[in-house]
Chains A and B, each alone.
Chain A
Amino acid sequence: MRGGKLIKVTLEVEGCVIKCARICGDFFLYPEDAIECIERALEGARLDSDFERIIAEEVERSGAQLLGFSVEDLCVAVRLAFQSRLR
């Protein structure tokens, strides 16, 4: 990531739908438990879903602040993880 941090997204996918999402890495997010909200918000999303909107809305809803990465970075990581599951 541009902030020098690592994000790793692991997805459980059934059909084309995310069943479970796990976001790991050495980034900073405040408050920390917002990560679980973001993970939950991704459940039920499909490959063609607007991840950026889903994540941005959840970030705003939980009042989360990101450091060392951006919503866009996280979207890229989710998309890559999704594509690797479908391969």
Chain B
Amino acid sequence: MAWRFLDTGEGDAYWNMALDEAILTLRIDGRVPATLRVYTWRPSAVSIGYFQSLEEEVDLEACRALGVDVVRRITGGGAVYHECGGELTYTFVASEEELKARRFFADIQGSYEVICGALVKGLRRLGINAEFRPVNDIVVNGRKISGNAQTRRRGVILQHGTILLKTDIPTMFRVLRVSREKVSDKAVKAVEDRVTTIFREVSSSVTLDDVKESLRKGFAEHFGVEFVASTPTQVELDLASEYRKRFSSWDWVARR
């Protein structure tokens, strides 16, 4: 059976996270096939990991001033600044069983490696010498280009992550509290040394569509399955609308 490719375009933070969870729920119920979704964020947003403290990770005042949304993910991992136009986010949802039938893995770390292997193939199609770096990163010559996070429910894995096209480090420093060393040249340089982007590795002429298509082909090659372009079902959209209320609620965002 073919798997599904969804390009859902731009969405706000709450919708983006809600649709991810809707796909997960419906995959558990067997109502949608394994799915690769790609999307972007408008407005720019910060997503924090399930276990992170909102107060400690995010400068809410700066976010308000800059019009940056803040959302808590259903996945662990770190805080991410999703710059509108600066990155592509993907979500991959599949059952453990159907994944293992195509690419065996023995444990959770192995499942990250398998799914990230598909991303690596996609990035290599763009001429980027990407490789997986445990626990959950993809790097190019030691510099991170993609961070990834998983949740697992009833035998189904959802992994999502970002692929950087470019970075706006000064804004990132303003909205995230990860580095308290102010926006010094040194701090910016330190991030530049640890992080890289598609524009830096290849060229700024690479388009979002190029990246989406490379990912789709990378996943297809990696898992030996065709990814058929589709749109979310009405049930998915309705469920996502329902979930969106939770993701945008203060109770959820500030629960830690």
Interface with B: A25-33, A40-48, A54-62, which one?
Answer: A25-33
Q: Which residue numbers of B lie inside 8 Å of A, CB to CB? A: 49-53, 56, 74-79, 107-109, 112, 135-136, 149-153, 256
Residue in B closest to A30 when the chains form the complex, CB atoms: B152
- Measured CB to CB, the closest approach of chain A to B180, in angstroms, equals 14
Considering residues B56, B77, B79, B151, which has the most beta carbons from chain A within 10 angstroms of its beta carbon? Answer: B77
A28 & B256 in contact (Cβ 8 Å cutoff)? no
User: Knowing A3-B135, A31-B153, A32-B151 touch, does A26 contact B49 (C-beta < 8 A)?
Assistant: yes
Please, how many angstroms separate the alpha-carbon atoms of A27 and B51 in the complex?
Answer: 7
Residue in A closest to B112 when the chains form the complex, CB atoms: A67
Q: Which 3 A-B pairs have the closest CB atoms?
A: A26-B78, A28-B76, A24-B53
A32 & B56 in contact (Cβ 8 Å cutoff)? no
- Measured CB to CB, the closest approach of chain B to A13, in angstroms, equals 19
Please, how many angstroms separate the alpha-carbon atoms of A29 and B150 in the complex?
Answer: 10
A5 & B152 in contact (Cβ 8 Å cutoff)? no
Q: Name 29 interchain pairs, CB-CB below 8 A, sorted by A.
A: A4-B135, A5-B135, A8-B53, A22-B53, A22-B256, A23-B51, A24-B51, A24-B52, A24-B56, A24-B256, A25-B51, A25-B52, A26-B76, A26-B77, A26-B78, A27-B51, A28-B135, A30-B150, A30-B151, A32-B51, A32-B74, A32-B75, A32-B151, A65-B107, A65-B108, A67-B76, A67-B112, A67-B135, A68-B136
- Residues in B with CB closer than 8 Å to A31 are 152-153
- Residues in A with CB closer than 8 Å to B153 are 31
Query: Is A20 an interface position by the 8 A CB rule?
Result: no
0/1 interface trace, chain A 1-17, chain B, CB 8 Å (1 if under): 00111001000000000
Q: Which residue numbers of A lie inside 8 Å of B, CB to CB? A: 3-5, 8, 22-32, 35, 65, 67-68
Residue in B closest to A32 when the chains form the complex, CB atoms: B50
- Residues in B with CB closer than 8 Å to A26 are 49, 51-52, 76-79
User: Knowing A5-B135, A65-B108 touch, does A29 contact B51 (C-beta < 8 A)?
Assistant: yes
- Residues in A with CB closer than 8 Å to B53 are 8, 22, 24
- Residues in B with CB closer than 8 Å to A68 are 135-136
- Residues in B with CB closer than 8 Å to A25 are 49, 51-52
- Residues in A with CB closer than 8 Å to B75 are 28, 32
Residue in B closest to A25 when the chains form the complex, CB atoms: B51
- Residues in A with CB closer than 8 Å to B76 are 26-29, 32, 67
User: Knowing A4-B135, A5-B135, A24-B52 touch, does A30 contact B108 (C-beta < 8 A)?
Assistant: yes
